[in-house]
Structure 1
Amino acid sequence: MTDNNSDSSTSESEVSACSSSFNPIKALYSTKAKVPVESAPLYENISQFESALKKSNEVLPVGQSELVKKREEAKEKKRIEEENKLNEKNKQRFAQYGGMVQTRREIRTRNVLTRMDAMEGPLGVLKDCVDKRLRLKIITRHGTGVRGVLHATLVAFDKQWNMALSDVLEVWKRKGPRKRKVPPGLGRPVPKGTAASISSVPEVTETPLGKGIWECSRYIPQMMVRGEHIVLVNVVER
């Protein structure tokens, strides 16, 4: 028994596309088959070939990737142009009704930093101190009089004169240790492993001035001072 698809039983007329005895099954499996026109376009199926005959400009053969890319770019460019024309046409169409449309108010975020830019008068001077990092001398008070002085750099403030300070040197005066009245809650030491381990307590340096008065000073990296405790603000460095 012989194989009908073998090259030994296949004649050239059976694999020739121009022959009347052309056998497409043998042409697929035979090595003798030759393409009549090597530059002929290739299509994926018969329906694509028929569509190419009817619409020669729309259906492209296999292997024409550059033409396909150019066609897609041309389609996208045309779509963008049509969209721009439509937007311009709608803009001109509804231009006469522009004044009747209610516009939404822009909601601006307001906080301490944004309000600082709009400060005027004495508060405007504080804004310059923040921008130029100038040193300030701030006199503070307690319930009965002047408490002490703060030498610090201003970081932020508000209209109530609340101030955020950095690099603070606090100097104040108080009575000697024997004459001090310590509130009940302040006479107990802080237990180890609690607040002292989280934030160290600033060290206070005391210098006796005589007549039972001592001058105290301490350095604090950051401090927040309420406006009701501020008596006077003076710019030291300009």
Structure 2
Amino acid sequence: MSEQNSDSSTSESEISACSSNFDPLKALYSAKTKIPVENAPMYENLAQYEIAQKKKDVIPVGHSEQVRKREEEKERKRLQEEKELQEKNKQRFAKYQGMMPTVRRLKKTKNLLTRIEQMEGPLGVLKDCVDQRLRIKVITRNERGIRGDLHATLIAFDKQWNLALCDVLETWKRKGPKKRKIPPGLGTPVPKGTAAAISPV
């Protein structure tokens, strides 16, 4: 009885989706509601519907046949690609062709000689000495001061100022022997190897 009363009180404009007086609540409970498009696809949410409008590859809910066909198409493409890849490998490694030579890219070797070419500043002066085979003077030091000097031809060097030299002429200062100090009032020292005469007191 209540359903008949609700149907009688519901007008067609309220349950028509194309009408401006459309009432969704009455359309859900009315038996007279007509779907505008009977075969319209159903999607799980609004985001899926928007993707389907853009990409056209989203399958609606309830179309299991289309899902099965799509999976079969993917499997067929995968098998076709594997077959083409196997065919390419057979052609590449065929007996009449042999192994294809692989071209190796040579890496730029970095060593001391290549880095010398890029030296700048004070090290650039040493680079000029190496290129022109000039003789240089190197002063050596010790803990007390200047020890000596070297006159040599520079062959190579690095950024830590380690030098490789040839035709080296080295001069240095050698410290002389210390003289024995005589305490005052003791007279001359007795040389070694001689016996000292001891006089009785």
Higher relative contact order (CA 8 A, sep 6+): 1
Q: What is the TM-score normalised by the length of structure 1? A: 0.32
| Structure with higher strand content | 1
Larger Rg, first or second structure (1 or 2):
2
